[in-house]
Amino acid sequence: MSPKTEVWQGTLALMVLKTLSAMGPQHGYGLARRIEQTSEDALSINEGTLYPLLLKLEQEGAIESEWGVSDNNRRARFYRITRAGLKQLNAEMSQWAQVNEIVDRFIALKGEKA
Amino acid sequence: MRALRRMWHRLLGIAGLHRSERDLNEEFASHIQMLAEDLIRRGVPDEEAWRRARVKFGNVPSTMEQYRDQRSVPFIDATLQDLRYAWRLMRRNRGFSTVAIVSLAIGIGANTAIFSVVNAVVLQPLPYRDPGQLFAVREVRTDKDTAVFPVNPAHARAWAAECRSLADVAILSNSRAQIGAGNEAAAIARGARVTHNFFSMLGAEPMLGRTFRAEEEEPGLDRVVILSESLWRARFNADRSLLGRMVLIDGVDHQVIGVVAGSFWTAFGGGVSSSPANNQYQMFRPLVIPIDQRTRLMGNYNYAALTRLKPGVTPEAALAELNVVQSRFPAMTGAGGELGALLIPLQDIVTGRSLALWMLAAAVGAVLLIVCVNLANLLLSRVAARARETAVRSALGASRGRIFAHAFSESMLLSGFGGACGLLLASVIVEMLTSTPTVQLPRLHEVRIDASVMVFALLATLATTVIFGVLPAWRLAGQLPGDALRSSGRAVTDGRQGARLREMLIGVEVGLSTALLIVAVLLSISLNRLLNVDKGFDTEQVFTFDVDTAGPQYEDAEGRSRFFDRLLARLDAIPGIQAVGFTTQLPLEGNSWNDAIYRDASSERHSVENRYASPGFFDAMGVKVLKGRAFDDTDRARGVAVLSPKAASLLWPDDQDPVGREFMGEDDKPKLLVGIVADTRAVLQDISAPHAYYPYWQRPPGDVAMVIRSRADADALVAPVRNALHGEDPTLPIAPIEPAQGLVDGSVAQRRLQSRLVVLFAVSALLVASVGIYGVVAYAVTRRRNELSIRLALGASRAALMASIVRQGMTPVLAGVAAGIALGLLLGRTIRALLFGVHATDGQTMALVSLLLVSVGLAACLIPARRATIGTTLDVLRSE
């Protein structure tokens, strides 16, 4: 497996929502760092692509945003998960777990020749 | 749910309610900065840190683009952008935009207005149950000149009894009456007497009370009345307690038993199809057919009949059945001749002028088409001007569709404004039409700007947009960018194909204008011929007013006779009145009272128009006495009559001077023919019907039309006439005194309006077309300036050059005129029924219109041609 895996949009949304729910409001830069850290640098994203995703989530009402001040006193836009977002996260997590479980079963499959 | 929410946010994005670009830029910048600072903290040199930060963030403009597309709906965004651009363009070219919007507004407005009239008057079915099965019946003499009559009530009863294809037959007759109470000034209401089945046959339930019962058709039991909703509201303030109460009609108490909603129009109140009397009834009373008429099969064609065919029965089958019954009557009465019937759909009767309406609709549609074609032409010539700009856009990657949309959006905006203004204009026109008293169309009060009219206006706007916008936009999108960029911008042309296209459009404009002008000229000639037709009477210095007697004192015929004797004496004594007389029916007010005259009991009956008149009538109306004399007071002791030449020749075909002979009159009593008077027209456009005049004392009428010949004007007559009337009976209503010219004006009012409108449309079409020709020729000349000046320098004569320009400009004009004449011939045939005294293929008209269009076209070509050849060669070459 290549160390820097491409992330597709569906899972990126789950990661963003989970990060926001676990670590509280974040600005875009912070989000990118947390995702990088959580994946232990296994994931690399073009950080700009976060923003269209954030807009989509915001349009769906899963997150909201407002301008605030960052740790090192910079103006930054902070994103916060909403109740609708939490619901969406839970739904997506259980869905993901289900998919995972199914895929695992296939992986665990012992072929006759294996 | 989520998708919906997102769409909503996107729409908000279009409206600009979301984060601005600057806001986003700031966010991106701060992200990159934080990335860079992080790297610097870890010891990466400044420049390298910034570079890596930017790489890690990714392509800012493309992210931005992605963000933008997601923020709103790209298609709508682009359209809005195009519209904004078109709006700026429009404001920059104020002159062109104004011309375009105004011409579109006029075109769409006039079309919408005419449509709203056509829609209400013709397209909407009559407000009765299953109106397609309703027909008016007329009787027809089939043996000779197929004269069409109103209906004999005994015949109508026979149809109802014997024809199994008819569900029902209702009989009616017009009856004007005064409605009011006591000494209070009475109003005259147009009413009808109808058989009891009239309302149930139409399927028109009363909104209050009940309809008539069969027994109410008997004399003495008929003192009941049903009011129309309009009269009930206007005169009785919509008083519900009126039901069951008494109102005075013609001075006699009648019980109000019902109110009917809606309107009841007729064009058949005793008259034949061309009768102008298309009345809206305001009240109804039961029809009482006098006992002696109930079995009388001879003459007496004085009623109207309506019938409803049984479901599934065709009019042809019903007519065949009617004709079988009809064919018996002549033999039964021994009158000879052949009798048939005619079924006319009720819808056609009520909206009998729909041909004229369709013609107006077509004319106004043609004007809109010409406006569109002209705008397309103007936009096409701007295609060339905008070619470079478009080429640049397309070189920068704009797709053809995008360029098309871009160019089309300007047309969309123009026609949008035009359509909105047009709708406003339409509502003004409709308001004007419905409040103009000379416009007498049935159901006109139903005309309004409703949903279907709005939809029409919208469709008209869309259609105009497509017609005038697609072609130029397509041309613009279709050109190759290389061509436009290569030409230095000075002599940008749209090529041979573009010129062809524009010439074709000119041809269309000229063709339509020619056809419209032909129709306009034909209609104007018709109107003129009609006004100058020999009517058989004078209108100059002649005034008329109605005298309607009502009340118990007039029940007795002798009493009425003496009343008119005294009234005539009083009027005659008024100074300034040269002659006075009356008749039961004025000329030009339609055929009405038809009855038979004959030589003796065994000879053929001839149906003629009956009039009861006073001796002074002929003098007052200017009806010439051709032979013998008019009747006078010396004739009181014996039966006398006066005939028109046509009536006399029916009785005595071979006798040139029958004065002094005797015949049987309308009342089956012998009459001495004392004179022959000129034929008068009962309907202006129809040849005169045969007339018989009897002195009023032989059958004293209740309602008459008084005729006065006087040097004074109408205003000066009012006071003395009122004094005379009220001196005789103070309760008599005073009708307005009208100049007799009003009879003529009234009968040509519709035609006058029609021909004026068509002339107006045609002239505007001609103007628009001439502007179009001018535009195209002027543009061609500009394009050929180089060539022309070089040829001039090489020694070509100015005249030859001008000739070549004019030849080029006139080719589409001449083709258009030829096509237009063909179209005009076709249209002329279609509107034959609207023409009078002029043939649809009138050569003079064709020649006149062609000449007019060719000279207008020539003028439009010559102006730019002259200008092109006047400048010196040097000027042109220097400007290169």
A73 Cβ under 8 Å from any chain B Cβ: no
Q: Is B566 on the interface with A (CB under 8 A)?
A: no
Q: Which chain B positions have a beta carbon within 8 Å of A46's beta carbon?
A: 56-58
The angle at the Cα of B390, spanning B388 to B392, to the nearest 5 degrees, equals 70
- Would an 8 Å CB–CB cutoff place B14 in contact with chain A? no
- Category of B251 on φ-ψ map: left (φ > 0), alpha (ψ -120 to 50) or beta: left
Can you tell me the distance from the alpha carbon of B581 to that of B568, in angstroms, rounded to the nearest whole number?
Answer: 7
Q: Quick: pLDDT tens for B553-585.
A: 788 888 889 999 999 999 988 888 889 999 988
B496 CB within 8 Å of a chain A CB: no
Q: Left if phi > 0, otherwise alpha if psi is -120 to 50, otherwise beta: which for A40?
A: left
Interface check for B314 against chain A (CB to CB < 8 A): the answer is: no
Contacts of A51 in chain B (CB under 8 A): 24, 27-28, 63, 67
What residues of chain B lie within 8 A of the CB of A52, using their CB?
63, 66-67, 70
Residue A4's pLDDT is 46
* pLDDT score for B874: 58
Which SS3 state, helix, strand or coil, does residue B548 take? strand
Average pLDDT score over residue span B760-769: 83
Q: Would strands B703-710 and B542-548 be described as parallel, antiparallel, or unpaired? A: antiparallel
Q: Are B188 and B550 in contact (CB under 8 A)?
A: no
The Cα–Cα gap between B741 and A62 comes to 83
Closest to B387 (Cα-Cα) out of B486, B499, B500, B503 = B486
Structure token digits, residue B168:
């029902």
Residue B477 confidence (pLDDT) above 90: no
How close B52 gets to chain A, by Cα (Å)?
A: 12
Name which of B516, B490, B531 is nearest B816 in CA terms. B516
Lowest mean per-residue pLDDT among B25-29, B102-106, B276-280, B324-328: B276-280
What is the distance between the alpha carbons of residues B259 and B238, in angstroms, rounded to a whole number?
A: 10
What length does chain A have?
114
Is-contact B265 B188, C-beta < 8 A?
no
User: Closest by alpha carbon to B367, among B116, B112, B108, B115?
Assistant: B108
Local structure of residue B303 (DSSP, 8 states): B
Cβ neighbours of B52 in A, within 8 Å? none
Report the SS3 class of residue B840. coil
Q: Which range among A9-23, B621-635, B866-880 has the greatest average pLDDT?
A: B621-635
Name the residue among B285, B230, B286, B224 with its Cα closest to residue B261.
Answer: B230
> Which residues 10-29 of chain A have a CB within 8 Å of chain B?
27-29
Closest CA of chain A from B27, distance in Å = 7
Nearest-Cα distance to chain A for B396, in Å, is 26
Rounded to whole angstroms, what are the CA distances from A72 to A23, B30, B505? 18, 12, 71
Q: Is B57 on the interface with A (CB under 8 A)?
A: yes
Hey, is the C-beta of A113 within 8 angstroms of any chain B C-beta?
A: no
- Which of B2, B30, B35 lies nearest to residue A60, judging by beta carbons? B2
User: Which chain A residue is nearest to residue B3, measuring alpha carbons?
Assistant: A60
pLDDT score for B707: 92
Contact list, B24 vs chain A (CB under 8 Å): 51
Largest CA distance in chain B: 141
Contact B289, B595 (CB under 8 A): no
Give Cα B639 distance to the centre of its chain: 48
B53 touches chain A (CB under 8 A): no
Strands B252-260 and B206-209, by their bridges, are antiparallel
Least Cα distance to B335 among B54, B712, B650, B686 occurs for B650
Question: Is B30's Cβ below 8 Å from some Cβ in A?
Answer: yes
Compute the distance between CA of residue B567 and CA of residue B715 in angstroms, rounded to an integer.
20
CA distance A45 to A51: 12
Q: Do B2 and A77 touch (CB under 8 A)?
A: no
Percent of chain B with pLDDT over 70: 88
- Residue A51 and residue B27: Cβ atoms within 8 Å? yes
Range B237-273 burial, b when 16+ CB lie within 10 A, else e: eeeeebbeeebbbbbeebebbbbbeebbbbbbbbbbe
pLDDT at B719 over 60: yes
| Spatial distance between the Cα atoms of B341 and B741, rounded to a whole number of angstroms | 35
Look at the pTM and tell me if it is higher than 0.95: no
Q: Which amino acid is at B773?
A: I
* Nearest residue, CB atoms, B27 vs list A32, A77, A88: A77
Which helix (H) or strand (E) element contains residue B235?
A: helix B229-236
Tokens 């990088």 correspond to: A36
Q: Tell which A residues from 51 to 70 touch B, by Cβ distance under 8 Å.
A: 51-52, 55-56, 58-61, 70
**Do B30 and A32 count as a contact with CB atoms less than 8 A apart?**
no
Question: CA separation (Å) from B335 to A79, B322, B598, B602?
Answer: 105, 19, 9, 8
Under the banding of pLDDT at 50, 70 and 90, the label for residue A1 is very low
**Is A42 near chain B, with CB under 8 Å?**
no
Burial of A40 (0-12, 13-18, 19+ CB in 10 A): exposed
Closest CA to B822 of B854, B846, B858, B852: B846
For chain B, percent of residues with pLDDT exceeding 90: 16
Assigned token pair, B499: 């010129």
Which of B9, B41, B57 to mutate: most A Cβ within 10 Å?
A: B57
Residue of A nearest to B61 (CA): A48
ipTM of predicted assembly, 2 dp: 0.83
Residues of A in contact with B63 (CB under 8 A): 48-49, 51-52
> If you average pLDDT over every residue of chain B, what do you get?
82
Q: Does B829 touch chain A (CB under 8 A)?
A: no
User: Residues B619-647: pLDDT tens digits?
Assistant: 999 999 999 999 998 998 889 999 999 89
Which range, of B3-7, B339-343, B416-420, B755-759, averages the lowest pLDDT?
Answer: B3-7
Q: Which residue has the higher pLDDT, B426 or B489?
A: B426
Question: CB contact, 8 Å: A87 with chain B?
Answer: no
Residues A22, A26, A30: CA angle, nearest 5 degrees: 105
**Which residues of chain B neighbour A49 with C-beta distances below 8 Å?**
58, 63, 66
Which residues, at least 6 apart from B702, have a Cβ–Cβ distance to it below 8 Å? B548, B549, B550, B554, B560
Token output for B868 = 């092109």
Domain boundaries, chain A: 9-108
Task: List the single residue in B5, B33, B67 with the smallest CB-CB distance to A55.
Answer: B67
Check CB contact under 8 Å for B59 and A48. yes
- B252 vs B637: CA distance, rounded Å: 33
Residue B10: its chain A contacts at CB < 8 A?
Answer: 59
Q: Which residues of A touch B35 (CB under 8 A)?
A: 29, 47
Closest chain A C-alpha to B53 CA, distance in angstroms? 10
With cut-offs at 50, 70 and 90, classify the pLDDT of residue B489: very low
Q: In a mutagenesis test of the B interface, which of A12, A29, A53 is the best target, namely the one with the most B β-carbons within 10 Å?
A: A29
Residues 6+ apart with CB under 8 A from A8: none
How many beta-carbon contacts under 8 Å exist across A and B?
64
The H-assigned helical ranges of B119-175 are: 153-162
Question: What integer pLDDT is reported at residue B351 of this predicted model?
Answer: 65
Give me B811's structure tokens: 């080719």
Q: How far apart are CA B583 and CA B611, in angstroms?
A: 6
Q: How many angstroms separate the CA atoms of B253 and B396, rounded? A: 90
pLDDT digits (tens, 9 = 90+) for A57-66: 888 888 988 8
Residue B276 reports pLDDT greater than 50: no
Q: Give the separation between CA B383 and CA B399, rounded to whole angstroms.
A: 17
Identify the CATH number of the domain defined by range A9-108: 1.10.10.10
What is the pLDDT at residue B799?
84
